[in-house]
Amino acid sequence: MKVLVCISQTPDTTAKIAFTDGNTQFNKDGVTYIMNPTDEWYALVRAIEVKEQAGGSVTVVNVGTADNDPIIRKALAIGADDAVRIDCDPKDAYEVAAQIAEYAKAEGFDIVFTGKETIDYNGFTVGGMLAELMDLPYISMATHMSLEGNTATIDREIEGGQEKAQVDTPFLISANKGLAEQRIPNMRGIMMSKRKPLKVVAAADIAALSTISSYELPPQRSSVTLVDPENPAELIRLLHEEAKVI
């Protein structure tokens, strides 16, 4: 199996979210970056398991500038074989998907993995867009996958339940919790990752279809009203009469 995993760089989950230039730019000062959690914990690890089961190779692809190299090296340390970075600073999900499609179209991947969503722009979009641009069947939010020959049986999350579906390679799958167990890179992986190929390719001429014009922080909540633990009826009264939510 020839497998591709799309990985994104996101601010660390504890990063302070602030903006500059009149709330038009994300303030990167002091922010540490990580590999997007669903990409790392589920998509990448499940891809490596496919290789362990069926042989083949795992390539990771990232659309980004050179400051994304640390997370790409981490993916190599966890067990990917090689990496491609498409060199640009994308403005929207379409630009990311279209750049990956340009590169991946001719490569003949059997399975393409993405995470279900990134924790910064929360789109759930790159996977679906990429599937359309590569004309692949798309199973989103997968929580389990088994593979027999070229046929995968996949569980995916739907509202209030589960769906079980079958698809033949090539296909695209977006990874949700449950698909795999997080792996921590070991010393040998980290050493080897330094020698694994990371190819930087020039970006194709693709424009974003949307851009962010401004950001805003949510309003602060006023301070908490405490209710006597012996008198929860008072809480119900407040929720009914003051907050009007029940």
Partner 1 sequence: MSVLVYIDHAGGKLKKAALEATTYASKVAQKTGGEVTAIALGSIDEGALAALGAYGATKVLKAGESHFDNFDAGAYTKAIAKAVEQTAAQVVIFTHNSSGKSLAPRVSARLKAGMVAGAIDVPNTDGGFSVRKSVFSGKAFADYQIHTDVKVISLNPNSIPVEKGDGSAAVASFDSGVSAADFRIKVLERSTSTDSIPLPEAELVVSAGRGLKGPENWGMIDELAAELNAATACSRPVSDVGWRPHHEHVGQTGITVRPNLYIAIGISGAIQHLAGVNNSKVIVVINKDSEAPFFKAADYGIVGDAFDVVPKLIDAVKAFKAQA
Ligand X SMILES: Cc1cc2nc3c(=O)[nH]c(=O)nc-3n(C[C@H](O)[C@H](O)[C@H](O)COP(=O)(O)OP(=O)(O)OC[C@H]3O[C@@H](n4cnc5c(N)ncnc54)[C@H](O)[C@@H]3O)c2cc1C
- Where in 20-39 is the site for ligand X (CB under 6 A)? 37
Question: Smallest distance, Å, CB 200 to partner 1?
Answer: 25
Contact string 36-75 vs ligand X (x = CB under 6 A): -x--------------------------------------
Count, residues in the chain: 246
- Closer CB to ligand X, 37 or 56, in the complex: 37
Return d(Cα 239, Cα 232) in angstroms, integer.
Answer: 11
Residue 211 near which of partner 1, ligand X, none (CB within 5-8 Å, type-dependent): partner 1
Tokens of 105: 């179209």
Question: Smallest distance, Å, CB 14 to ligand X?
Answer: 8
Tokens of 29: 């000062």
- Closer CB to ligand X, 37 or 178, in the complex: 37
- Closer CB to ligand X, 55 or 229, in the complex: 229
Question: Smallest distance, Å, CB 119 to ligand X?
Answer: 8
DSSP H helical ranges for 105-158? 126-134
Of 144, 146, 149, nearest to 162 by C-alpha is: 144
Q: Which residues touch 212 (CB under 8 Å, ≥6 apart)? A: 24
- Closer CB to partner 1, 94 or 109, in the complex: 94
Q: Which residues touch 54 (CB under 8 Å, ≥6 apart)? A: 1, 147
How far, in whole angstroms, is CA 106 from its chain's centroid?
Answer: 23
Residue 125 near which of partner 1, ligand X, none (CB within 5-8 Å, type-dependent): partner 1
Give the number of other CB atoms < 10 A from CB of residue 21: 9
Q: Which residues sit at the interface with ligand X, rule CB under 6 A? A: 13, 37
